[in-house]
């Protein structure tokens, strides 16, 4: 009897969750975000393929990168990038790890640094609220976006961790709305899954 009761209780819970996301416009928000991100991602991939074929061989560039820059310098640069809005695509560093003598070790370090960079961005977001100009801008110009983030919280952190969008921006926004740190730490763990998936794809292309 207890098992049957559990099965009956699970379905209504997911139905309520689905109805809530549908009613608040979460699905439409994610769909619009994905549509906006789709074309830039496609153009970036096509551009990368054409660049590699007609302009400069990426494998040669990665090989030169490993010879020119120190491992510590590359890792520090990556951490800074992953903390400040994710300015440099992490895929470049994932490809770099494949060219090193210990690819899996360096890949694990990159994933950890990316995760920690997001957490650092979260605290930067919290600290930025002390600046009056930023706080006033958020309350007026970004009120709608911050309201959505407050409603959907962890789901947006999850999207930032998995999709090819700057993870730091999701975490920084979470800090600005004072989203619980525990949620950021938990949902942010999916960042490791993203690195594993991308590494599987990139390692098969990089010699």
pLDDT of residue 6: 47
Beta-carbon count within 10 A of 183 CB: 14
Average pLDDT of span 106-126: 93
- Banded model confidence at residue 110, pLDDT cuts 50, 70, 90: very high
Instruction: Read off the tokens for 53.
Output: 């074929």
* Sign of CA pseudo-dihedral 114, 84, 170, 121: positive
Distance (Å, whole) CA 113 – CA 124: 16
Q: For the full predicted model, state whether its pTM sits above 0.75.
A: no
Distance (Å, whole) CA 37 – CA 144: 20
Beta-carbon count within 10 A of 65 CB: 16
Closest to 195 (Cα-Cα) out of 100, 102, 89? 89
The residue count for the chain: 207
Q: Which residues contact 127 (CB under 8 A, 6 or more apart)?
A: 175
Average pLDDT of span 150-171: 73
- Banded model confidence at residue 106, pLDDT cuts 50, 70, 90: very high
């Amino acid at each position: 009897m207890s098992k049957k009761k559990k099965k009956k209780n699970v379905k209504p819970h997911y139905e309520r969750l689905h109805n809530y996301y549908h009613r608040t416009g979460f699905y439409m928000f994610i769909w619009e975000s994905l549509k906006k991100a789709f074309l830039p991602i496609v153009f970036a991939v096509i551009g990368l393929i054409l660049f590699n074929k007609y302009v400069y061989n990426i494998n040669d560039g990665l090989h030169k990168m490993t010879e020119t820059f120190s491992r510590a310098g590359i890792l520090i640069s990556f951490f800074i990038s992953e903390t400040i809005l994710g300015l440099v695509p992490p895929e470049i560093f994932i490809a770099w790890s494949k060219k090193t003598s210990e690819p899996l070790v360096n890949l694990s370090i990159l994933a950890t640094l990316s995760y920690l960079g997001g957490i650092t961005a979260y605290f930067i977001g919290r600290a930025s609220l002390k600046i009056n100009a930023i706080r006033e801008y958020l309350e007026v110009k970004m009120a709608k976006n911050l309201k959505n983030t407050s409603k959907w919280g962890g789901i947006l952190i999850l999207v930032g961790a998995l999709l090819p969008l700057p993870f730091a921006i999701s975490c920084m926004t979470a800090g600005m709305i004072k989203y619980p740190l525990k949620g950021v730490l938990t949902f942010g763990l999916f960042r490791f899954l993203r690195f594993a998936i991308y590494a599987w794809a990139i390692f098969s292309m990089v010699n």
